[in-house]
A and B are shown apart, each in its own frame.
Chain A
Amino acid sequence: MELTRRELVAAFLGSAVAASACRKSGPRERVPGAVVDQAVELGHRLRGGPLPRADVVEPVEVLVVGAGVAGLSAAWRLASAGVRGVRVLELEAEPGGTSRSGRNAISAYPWGAHYLPAPLEDRGPVVRLLREMGAVTDVDDTGRPRFEESLLIHEPEERFFYRGHWYEGLYLHAGASVEDLEELRRFEARMNGFASARDAKGRRAFAVPSGLSSDDAEWTALDALSMAAWMEREGFRSARLKWVVDYACRDDFGTTAEHVSAWAGIWYFTARQDGNGERSEGYLSWPEGNGRLVRQLVSALPNGAVEGNVLVHTVEPVEGGCRVDALEAGSGKPRAFLARQVVLACPRFIAAHVVAPWRRERPAWLSGFTYGPWVVANLTLSSPPRSRGFPLAWDNVFYESRSLGYVVATHQTLRQDEQGPTVLTWYLPMDGADVKAEREKALSASYADWEALVMADMRPAHPGISGQAQRLEVQRWGHAMVRPTPGFMWGQAKQAAGESLGSSLHFAHSDLGGMGLFEEANWFGVRAAERVLAELGRREVSWL
């Protein structure tokens, strides 16, 4: 059935956007551009029948499958330990996974993950990586790392658009009642309490990465209910507060508070602060988003270690290691490897297709993993968008839209003159409960549809933006990130899926942490690499 423009906007972004964007929908110039994702079809070949296998087998010391943050982190850890003969295979042409980035004449820009909360403590692999790239300047009196000022998000950091006007921050103060503000204070106090909570062993109740959190039932019991249910139970009913919580869930986990575990929802507000009410250093970001971190990881590897356009379709544990079968994406030529050790750094839904024993017998944990789709669009403008109210910030949120709004790629550039062209990165988590339906919806929309959607989302806040728009590129992520659904964070499935298979096949991915975040991917990558090092008989001090 053909949707009208207004129905299309309502279906993707909600009726409020449809109402305000379609009010004056005269004819306008379409913004030129394209949908740029390609690997969807290639990946789907995994689901077809048996694929050809190569006769010549290449021997490899350690093979990492997947050059997303988890796989690159594993390779980075191995390279640092001096392991030679590490190879990384990637389905896409470029490494980075959902932290990939692009670049045009105006700026680099992210295609997915675009910031990293500044770590609170001076330990763990993330701080090590930041130190390697010169982002850590020193340590303060309390032992906390301090970061290069130019990398922390410059003020103004965030603003939101609500009914004709931009406001600072993310809480709608205008028109808030005494009760609303009281609830906000009570919520903040609760979160500070959770942030400073420690168990008998001195572990934080909510830690980064999530696996380092306390497993005391006092807190893990929160995993059983949804964030929305917890809010209701605790008497948090202010619409403004619920908006903030819902926004947080959609921003970090890609779905609404109804479908996020309360443990994960609380984690968002607590794990990255110390509970003393003292603000952490905030977020680190780069024009290309976490693409900068990807570049750093790749730079630690020998030239040519990462090979793109290779579809690994089978990993079979054999005597002395694993046999890995793959296809070259362009030519379809089969390739085969015999690796002493393998790190399979791909999400579970792919691992279940690739690992031969799992293909024969579907693992029980698989159904516990849910992946939500996202759509990311980069819009190049000839000049910054004009707006009423609080000035352009790094993060710009549309209060009444189901999109998350946009970030400004040039925000962190050190310039006095802010009038030049820029690139906006727009994010839409397809947040419905039925991920399969959401995925089909995302993939069914054409470029013309996406162009209409992005511009409909922008227009109410920025009248005249069509005249500034030069190009729009759209990336659809069918399985953008794992969802921390209720029961998942402390359930059996996550734990079981992370166990190595035999002595030569190890797993890494952010989904093993239950959240699609850099810290999780990096931690599991390093963990898998350290298991490899142990199997290779290397004695190394753990980075974890």
Chain B
Amino acid sequence: MNKTLLYITVIVIATCGLIYELVVGALASYLLGDSVTQFSTVIGGYLFAMGIGSYLSRYIERGVAQRFVEVELAVALLGGICAPVLFLTFTLTDLFQVALYGSVIAIGALVGMEIPLLLRILKDQVKFKDLISQVLSLDYVGALAASVAFPLLLVPKLGLVRTSLLFGVLNAAVALWSTWLLAPLLGNPLRLRVKAVGLTVLLLAGFVMGDRLTTFYEDQLYADDVVHASSSPYQRIILTRGKRGFSLFLNGNLQFASLDEYRYHESLVHPAMVRAGKVENVLILGGGDGLAAREVLRYPEVRSVTLVDLDPMITGLATNYGELAKLNRHAMTDPRMRVVNGDAMQFLTEGGAQYDVVVVDFPDPNNFALGKLYTTGFYKLLKKRIAPDGVAVVQSTSPLFARRSFWCVEKTLRAAGFWTEPYHALVPSFGEWGYVLIAHEPPARHRPLPEGLLFLDDATMASLTQFPPDMGPLPVEVNRLNNQVLVHYYEAEWQRWN
């Protein structure tokens, strides 16, 4: 038996064992936040599970070599797929923590069996004192290699998903070469070889495809630490913190980044506020993060703000989650605020008071349910709720990335009988962003901009209505309930940029 090869095996399995532990630990702190707790519980759980594995190894009486290869195969499979599976579980279900600790225990227990089994295989060929010293020292060398490579090389170059798959492949390779190394001890190595080859191919395929998964989940979405994650009946809510500050994602779509959200929200709110006849009663549709409300509440004349958002979990976060409440300057608990967790379309249908200013801040029209909120049908309901000298504003996606969509919103508003003034602002996190100011009649300027704005002054505000040629109007259809052309425009246009 070639001892050098055996010792290489020890280094590889030791490295793999530690890598899985690091992958799961990083993933947990990454998706759940609070990395001290996550790392402690994952590492503690993993070590404990290794103990269980070591203990259980005593019950393997016969065919130790055979079992060793099987354990390697199982570790390769579970360890290899742990990162992609955990990512998917996080995105698609609420069972992330169950899956997380399940993987920790399963992988840990299997890894815990490896060294005891290997020692038993080698005990007849090497003197016990040499055996124990060599195997354990190589085990620690492997651990060092893993812990250095992981942060410096693997995560930056490969990302978590591909790291876990790559080490799954290495583990499967160990299983494969073990079938030769231990051939004299194995009854029928052929079956094991077939399994090992199959698994290697499978994990390699995953590794190649993992590139896409990695890009999707890690680079694009949550480049930062996740500090809050929850699911409401309507959407998946993620808050992250990192280089762009503090960001909110709904179903994976960025809603704001604290670094530049002031540009978005100042542009959304103030052009309407300064042109409305009065600003006593304001309605915000959507905007459950409270950031538009923060801008509205800068005006001392505002007497009441009604915010209608479908999702109580979002308005709850905006009210109670410290950093978000700080960012919206505690707008949600302002005595002038009234929060309605309800259906915006139903709210308008029910009729009632008219508002001086209405801020319409819905997510982009990327499905038919949201597309409804951009139809003449919706805007006619809206029109009835705007006071005669009132003004409203509609967030209208990007006139650069989705030019047709933007002008479709504008034309639809005109078809609903509004006077319109389209404008746009640069929000680095989003790109060029568009809005349409609407009113029954062209409104005059009624009041100055409030103090303390970071982006808007009078000169800047005046410049926002200028559209360069690549964002200018295009011939488009009116978006109606019975055609929903906007959803089709939007889908086609954003596809080009993704």
Contact = CB atoms under 8 A, between A and B. Distances in A.
A416 B342 CA distance: 9
Contact of A417 (B234, B378, B482): B234
Interface stretch (B159-167, B253-261, B368-376, B399-407): B368-376
B484 A155 contact: yes
Contacts of A154: 372, 377, 481-482, 484
A428 B378 CA distance: 35
Contact of B481 (A155, A391, A417): A155
Contacts of B375: 149
Chain B interface size band reads 20 to 34
A391 B480 CA distance: 18
Contact of A414 (B346, B376, B480): B346
Contacts of A149: 375-377, 380, 480-482
A72 to B, nearest CB: 28
A417 B380 CA distance: 19
B351 to A, nearest CB: 12
Given A150-B481, A416-B310, A155 B349 contact: no
A125 B371 CA distance: 35
A449 interface: no
A44 B344 CA distance: 51
Contacts of B378: 414
A67 B368 CA distance: 39
A282 B484 CA distance: 14
Contacts of B343: 415-417
A226 to B, nearest CB: 34
A521 interface: no
A417 B370 CA distance: 9
A416 B344 contact: yes
A278 to B, nearest CB: 13
Nearest to B369: A418
Contact of A416 (B233, B346, B487): B346
Contacts, number: 58
A414 B377 contact: yes
B426 interface: no
B345 interface: yes
Interface residues of A, number: 17
A416 B372 contact: yes
Nearest to A279: B483
Contacts of A415: 343, 345-346
A479 B93 CA distance: 49
Interface string B19-45: 000000000000000000000000000
B346 A153 contact: no
Nearest to B376: A149
A157 interface: yes
Contacts of B237: none
B483 A155 contact: yes
Given A149-B480, A149-B481, A155-B483, A391 B349 contact: no
Nearest to A152: B482
Contacts of B371: 155
B482 A155 contact: yes
Contacts of B380: 149
A419 interface: yes
Nearest to B416: A149
27 contacts: A149-B375, A149-B376, A149-B481, A150-B377, A152-B481, A153-B482, A154-B372, A154-B377, A154-B482, A154-B484, A155-B371, A155-B482, A155-B487, A156-B484, A157-B482, A414-B345, A414-B346, A414-B378, A415-B343, A415-B345, A415-B346, A416-B344, A416-B345, A416-B346, A416-B370, A417-B369, A419-B234
